[in-house]
Amino acid sequence: MEADVREKGPSGAAQTLAGFFAAAGIFVSLAGVAYRPLRLIPLAIVLSLIAVGIGGRSARLATAAVFISALCFAVGMAVAVITSNPLW
């Protein structure tokens, strides 16, 4: 006789929210490259880390969002310094 074992993890709504957080983190970090990196990209990193913490079916997207945000932080800071734009 097999027991019905359910996986413990986030619910469907939490997984959907994690996907939205990851997508928003990617969008905000890419926008931060062009406009005020110290104002936008830390918010994107926080959103991405929250998405990783929730996990679920969008865990790969959330992990990619963290790496994209980190890369955008480095690129955004370099672009802002090279072009003499304000950082914040």
Amino acid found at 34: A
Domain boundary assignment for the chain? 13-82
**Could you tell me the CA-to-CA distances from 12 to 6, 42, 49, 64, 79 in Å, in that order?**
14, 27, 19, 21, 39
The model's pLDDT over 22-75, given as tens digits with 9 standing for 90+, comes to 999 999 999 999 999 999 999 999 999 999 999 888 899 999 999 999 999 999
Q: What is the pTM of this model?
A: 0.83
**Could you tell me the CA-to-CA distances from 23 to 6, 37, 54, 78 in Å, in that order?**
28, 18, 14, 24
